[in-house]
Structure 1
Amino acid sequence: MAEIVNLRNARKAQKRAKARAEGDENAARFGRTKAQRELEQARADKARAELDAHRREREDE
């Protein structure tokens, strides 16, 4: 005997799986993780701070 399946729940599950797969594909193609963005921002801030620390001030300023 076959298992009884609620078609509404089956459709919703299928739709969720499709949306999840599409989201994963887009994340792999375009996205970076939050940790990667924060690391890149921290490195840029550090480089900017080091550059500013080496700046010489002019007398006319």
Structure 2
Amino acid sequence: MADVVNLNQARKAKAKADDKARAAENRVRFGRTKAEKSLETARADKLRRELDGAKRED
């Protein structure tokens, strides 16, 4: 004999699994560590300083 399945619980479990899969995909696509973010910021600051240092005054 088959087990009785609560369709409401099954629907919610499927939605939760889909949300977890989407979250994992977004972590891979958009997620960066704090170190990566700070490294990018430091590189941008250094580039800005170098460009400002190379300016000639009018």
**TM-score, length-normalised on structure 2?**
0.53
* CA RMSD between the two structures: 2.9
Give 3-state SS (helix, strand or coil) of 2:54's partner: coil
- Cα drift, residue 31 of structure 1: 1.7
How far apart, CA to CA, are the structure 2 residues paired with 1:14 and 1:51?
A: 53
- Consecutive unaligned residues in structure 2, runs of 5 or more: none
After superposition, the C-alpha distances for 1:4-55 in whole angstroms (9 at most, x for unaligned) are 6543123212211112113312432x32326233431332122212332x32
- Report the counterpart of residue 51 of structure 1 in structure 2: 51
2:8 aligns with: 8
Tell me which residue corresponds to 1:24.
24
Q: How many residue pairs end up in the alignment?
A: 56
The code of the aligned residue for 1:12 comes to K
Structure 1: gaps spanning 5 or more residues: none
Aligned-pair identity in percent equals: 41
Q: 2 CA distance for matches of 1:56 and 1:47?
A: 13
CA distance in 1, matches of 2:55, 2:23: 49
